[in-house]
Amino acid sequence: MADLNAFHNYVDAFEQSFNAQKRTLPQNAAFQVLCRELAHEMDLDNRDMRTTITVPIRPTQELVFELMFKPIMRAMYPEVNSTTQLSKAQGSELMVRFVDLINQKFGYHLEVPGEN
């Protein structure tokens, strides 16, 4: 009986391990295709991402960076894909502009870090 229990425990552990495996490369490719096709359809329909998503999403540092900071960076510096490509002057200018826009839009009183 102990051997049977050990076998069941082994099978359960194997199933959990198998089910917990990372997504596959074909799955990732499918995610990318789906997102690309959806973006294309939404663009043809003249949808604005800021008004498309209506579920409440709590702000996080990552979301603020990806959905607010980076779009402003790309608008100011279209040739830049990453903050690592910014010069020191561009980085400073971007931070000042970002803080100004956010303060105006939301009535906050944020300051550029390090410039107190």
pLDDT by residue (tens digit) across 63-84?
A: 899 989 999 999 999 999 999 9
User: Per residue, what are the HEC states of the chain?
Assistant: CHHHHHHHHHHHHHHHHHHCCCCCHHHHHHHHHHHHHHHHHHHHCCCCHHHHCCCCCCCCHHHHHHHHHHHHHHHHCCCCCCHHHCCHHHHHHHHHHHHHHHHHHHCCCCCCCCCC
Neighbours of 73 (CB within 10 A): 23
pLDDT at residue 56, rounded to an integer: 76
Task: Assess contact for 80 and 73: CB atoms under 8 A.
Answer: yes
pLDDT digits (tens, 9 = 90+) for 81-97: 999 999 999 999 999 99
In terms of average pLDDT, the best of 3-12, 27-36, 47-56, 71-80 is 71-80
What average pLDDT does the chain have? 83
Give pLDDT, residue 78.
Answer: 96
Taking only the tens place, the pLDDT of each residue in 23-37 is 678 877 877 887 788
- Check residue 2 and give its pLDDT: 62
Please give the share of the chain, as a percent, with pLDDT higher than 90.
Answer: 41
Contact criterion met (CB below 8 Å) for 93 and 76:
yes
Residue 61 has pLDDT above 70, yes or no: yes
Model confidence, pTM: 0.56
